[in-house]
Structure 1
Amino acid sequence: MSGPYRQPCDEGVLRTSGDCEGSARRKRYLILTACVLGSALVFIDGSVVAVALPVMRAQLPADVVQTQWIVNIYMLMLAAFTLLGGAGADRFGRKRAFLAGVAGFAAASIFCGLAPSANTLIAARALQGLAGAVLAPASLALIAATFPKAERGAAIGVWAGASALTTALGPVLGGWIVDVLSWRYIFYLNIPIALAALAAGAVFSGESRDEAARRLDWQGAALAVLALGALAFSLTRLGERSIGDLRAWAALALSLILAAAFLMREKNAPSPMMSLGIFSSLQFSALNALTLCLYAALSSAFLLLPFELTEARGLSAAAVGAVFLPFTLPMGFLSSVSGALQDRVGARLLLVAGPVLAALGFALLAAGRDWPLWAGVLAPMGVTGFGFALFVAPLTDGVIRAAPERHEGLASGVNNAASRIAGMIGVALAGALAAALGGFTGAYPWIMAGAAALTLVGAGFGWAGAGARQGK
């Protein structure tokens, strides 16, 4: 596999080998900067829109269903097309896919900001999700192709930490923009970030791709979109209505049939979007199962927490945003440390200890409804955040290491898709349980306890995945 840049000694006469190595290091970190900025677009728009939804709904205007799809269509497109985006990065080149994804995301953001109606905004959000599905796996694959194995864990830790910080800052910055300017400017904010990523990416010299990759599997992509769309409709309808809703169960059955058709297509396609052989690696399969457990737990827990804080504890919206800081700040500042620590102590300790700590945090949230805020919410959020900070970088690095080098884009795409699908399922199931138990606050301790149990199951997958033979 060719590297994403020419060797620095090929670009002119350097005086010493130290100059050569210094130039290579600077290029690596410039590429990392571009990847962080590009990925920030995807993560910011995954969190910032929620703050603006009430204003969007009033000004566009939008009904309840349209308001939900402003959020859901973005997640659906990310989940459905991330696999195709990863495969496309392997075939056409990770640099090319990354730059195209950044440019496409910026264009779709302008479309969002100018949207005159709710349906137009939904269409623009779909384009954002599609561009993000190209951008996100390409950024991770670029990092994997750029950094030597000895430095890769730390580099992915920086990427994970920056992603956590941008996700955390999204709602805070978005709320200020909505109050001072307009909801439309939360999308215009993406433009300077995209330009900075493109400027840093413009210095990439050389390309990284899978030379054996063939044409893209559009039929597989269509089946994935339909299967996930039916799943999203089914779970959302179950949450909104009763557990006996026949249309919801029919959509769920359809999603399972389409998922089976997708797997059959991928098994027999000459150039599948998702080569099923990649799952022959126990490490790869176990770590993706860990991803499903962790992000389903996190999304379901964090769906209910704001309702608990506002309805049961009487906090304001600004205070609720601040409550999330004990979770997001450790993620931002410690993820890079865990990436470097992995290079010293190995991944298994972090992939087990991290989920166990996160499970403890969820359990404390379930038990602490009658405790003071610092003991029942803030401290548990810090414990959960510290647990996630321990395993995010080793998990991402382990997934990429488990796949053959020619499939690094596909590997990151599968893992991104797993986290998005887990989030979608977690939110929908939490909503369905809340409907059955009479509201979000009634379901709160049960969801938190379930999140703790699911995260402990994930720790078992972390133990198995970290101990398995790597695929490379």
Structure 2
Amino acid sequence: MGWPLLILCLAQFLASADNVTLSIATRALIQDFGASMAQISTANTMYPLISGTFMIAGGMLGLIFGWRRTFRTGCLIYFLAELTAVFSPSVTVFTCAARILAGIGGSLMIPAVFGIITGSFYGREQAIAFGALGAASGFSFAMGPVICGSLLDLLGWRWAFGTLGGLALVILACSVLIPSPQKPQRLVRFDLPGFILSTAGLFLVVFGMLQISTWGMITPFNPPFTVYGFSPALLLVVAGLLVLLMMLRWEKHREKYSGSAMIPQSFLRTAQVRAGLYLTMYIFFAYSSGIFVVVSFVQVVAGLDAIHTGLLIIPFAVCLASTSMGIPLIFRKRNPRRQCRVGLLLGVAGSMLTTCGIEGLNFDISIVTSGLCLIGASMGTVAASAPFLITSALPERDAQQSGGIQAAARDIGQALGVALVSMVMLTAMTFSMKKLTSEVPGMTPQTFQAVKNMTVIPYLSDAGFQAMIVTNGANPQDLAVLTPVYQKSRARVTRAGLLSMTVMTLLFLMGTGKIPVTLENALPKGNKSH
């Protein structure tokens, strides 16, 4: 395993760290480019949108051109993306060139990482390798803000992206050490109709989910247009799902007559594979929902900077990495169903415990850290089984190709987490503020009407809220009594966001019945064929 696995883990770290760097460079980008928050939000959504759209296609391209070649192409495009970011003269170039290139690079590199692991490691070694990928993600979640935050503070955001570009070059140079799994004996031709349908469907689903927080799910917040008075976000998701259903019908026909498809039928017909994809979605759902809520609170409300936020998340990352790597190393014989259920229950306990640590303007660091540790252990416990559940149930060619759909499931899970929590928090904030404001004695009619007329009340710092509410027509003299109401509502909706994660995790728990109690299909090299 050795060096090849380390290089693959660095590639996983690069993809995660790139997104972390962008998320903490928001203020610097606004100042340097003179960009609006909406423009930076678009830049933030571009990577998951593009990468999620093309991930499944990346899985098939690896079979056609070879996994190492696809991996190296993805690394090269990633390097060009970081280079473009460094020299971007405007936010338009940064978003439409650098972020799109990063998404394309990720859609080639990440499925190739899965394909190389599946085609090069077998049995217990494969489980350990997938565990190491989970550990690399955990390390990037914690150390990314610390390392990139330090570069941002000391040298500026361009140096931070330049450093990631240097890492991409190192990975590219070291990729000669990575083994190249053999191509399938039977010729695989690219599925152009399947590519068009999967790209369109995934684009609509991911884009719709990402827009729920700004457009609203059903009641429109501030969308560019409405459909019979409803927000278009959910309709985009539904339209995308319908396109994906059309794609699945085409894929069945395609595989029957050509022997290959963008999504082989084995992905859909095998209950163990479906369970593995389901759990893969949970891993990134848990991160994007739980960590998103906590980071929003500690930065927006408590005022922590990127470095101190990263330090707060380190225990979470340590628990994620230790369980993801430790479980395959320590337990030779495991019960995947029991393990995944324990992992999900840890997520329930972690989100509920973290909720208890959120107060009005502060947080109890011991309680929040303990809750995050449980969430990290939950993600690591599930990550130790989910990829191996998928690959061990498939013929070797399909197992290698599964990297694309696994990566797509991760992106959909992440988008779902952000969409759900954002919707819950914004809806709860708006409802709570309107209700509590009506109960405040002595509030001027001007301020009461200003709050009542707002379609959505966002999650902001005290200063941000005061500026926003005055702009919307509130009487400045009412801020002294209105701000405590906002603080109370903000603490409530933070807890509501974490509780929504609890409810969704319980729903994930209900879908674990198809997970096997043993992995009898984990055969050594040479025993699988297509």
TM-score w.r.t. structure 1 length? 0.86
1:337 and 2:355 equivalent? no
Pairwise CA distance, 1:417: 0.7
Matches within 5 A, 1:19-418: 28-122=1-95, 123-204=97-178, 207-242=181-216, 243-245=218-220, 246-247=226-227, 248-249=231-232, 250-269=235-254, 270=258, 271-310=260-299, 313=302, 315-370=304-359, 373-418=364-409
Which residue of the partner structure matches residue 466 of structure 1? 516
Report which stretch shifted further, 35-44 or 126-135.
35-44
2:370 and 2:199 mapped to 1: Cα distance? Answer: 40
1:174 and 1:56 mapped to 2: Cα distance? Answer: 14
Which residue of the partner structure matches residue 433 of structure 2? none
- Listed one character per residue, the Cα deviations across residues 194-247 of structure 1 (whole Å, up to 9, x for unaligned) are 233233321346542223352222333333333333334434444224542325
CA RMSD of aligned residues (A): 2.5
Q: 1:214 to 1:435 in 2, by over 3 A?
A: same
2:424 alignment partner, one of 433, 441, 448: 433
Q: 1:147 to 1:234 in 2, by over 3 A?
A: closer
Q: Is the Cα–Cα contact under 8 Å of residues 344 and 509 in structure 2 kept in the other structure? A: yes
Pairwise CA distance, 1:388: 1.9
Report which stretch shifted further, 425-434 or 199-208.
199-208
1:455 and 2:497 equivalent? no
Q: 1:80 to 1:204 in 2, by over 3 A?
A: same
1:237 and 1:465 mapped to 2: Cα distance? Answer: 33
1:452 and 1:253 mapped to 2: Cα distance? Answer: 25
- Compare CA radii of gyration and give the structure with the larger one: 2
Which sections of structure 1, spanning at least 5 residues, go unmatched?
Answer: 1-27
Pairwise CA distance, 1:467: 3.2
Q: Is the Cα–Cα contact under 8 Å of residues 212 and 423 in structure 2 kept in the other structure? A: yes
1:408 and 1:181 mapped to 2: Cα distance? Answer: 43
Report which stretch shifted further, 369-378 or 191-200.
369-378
Question: What one-letter code is carried by the residue in structure 2 that aligns with 1:99?
Answer: R
Report which stretch shifted further, 363-372 or 351-360.
363-372
Pairwise CA distance, 1:136: 0.8
Q: Is the Cα–Cα contact under 8 Å of residues 323 and 384 in structure 2 kept in the other structure? A: no
Q: 1:136 to 1:397 in 2, by over 3 A?
A: same
Question: What one-letter code is carried by the residue in structure 2 that aligns with 1:244?
Answer: T
Identity rate, percent: 22
Pairwise CA distance, 1:470: 6.2
Instruction: Kindly indicate whether structure 1 or structure 2 has the higher relative contact order, using CA contacts under 8 Å at least 6 residues apart.
Output: 1
- Listed one character per residue, the Cα deviations across residues 169-218 of structure 1 (whole Å, up to 9, x for unaligned) are 11111111111112112221123322332333213465422233522223
Give the structure with the larger helix fraction. 1
- Listed one character per residue, the Cα deviations across residues 124-144 of structure 1 (whole Å, up to 9, x for unaligned) are 211111111111111122122
Question: What one-letter code is carried by the residue in structure 1 that aligns with 2:49?
Answer: L
Q: Is the Cα–Cα contact under 8 Å of residues 124 and 328 in structure 2 kept in the other structure? A: no
1:390 and 1:290 mapped to 2: Cα distance? Answer: 11
Pairwise CA distance, 1:281: 0.9
Q: Is the Cα–Cα contact under 8 Å of residues 354 and 369 in structure 2 kept in the other structure? A: no
1:189 and 1:66 mapped to 2: Cα distance? Answer: 24
Q: 1:432 to 1:206 in 2, by over 3 A?
A: closer
TM-score w.r.t. structure 2 length? 0.78
1:265 and 1:316 mapped to 2: Cα distance? Answer: 49
Pairwise CA distance, 1:60: 1.9
Pairwise CA distance, 1:360: 0.6
Secondary structure of 1:402 counterpart: coil
Report which stretch shifted further, 174-183 or 145-154.
145-154
Pairwise CA distance, 1:415: 1.4
1:163 and 1:266 mapped to 2: Cα distance? Answer: 32
Which sections of structure 2, spanning at least 5 residues, go unmatched?
Answer: 221-225, 430-457, 460-489, 522-527
Question: What one-letter code is carried by the residue in structure 1 that aligns with 2:173?
Answer: A
Report which stretch shifted further, 372-381 or 224-233.
224-233
2:519 and 2:135 mapped to 1: Cα distance? Answer: 27
Pairwise CA distance, 1:257: 3.3
Question: What one-letter code is carried by the residue in structure 2 that aligns with 1:354?
Answer: G
Report which stretch shifted further, 242-251 or 162-171.
242-251
Question: What one-letter code is carried by the residue in structure 1 that aligns with 2:205?
Answer: L
Question: What one-letter code is carried by the residue in structure 1 that aligns with 2:332?
Answer: D
Q: 1:287 to 1:63 in 2, by over 3 A?
A: same
Secondary structure of 1:48 counterpart: helix
Which residue of the partner structure matches residue 6 of structure 1? none
Pairwise CA distance, 1:40: 1.9
2:34 and 2:303 mapped to 1: Cα distance? Answer: 29
1:470 and 1:461 mapped to 2: Cα distance? Answer: 21
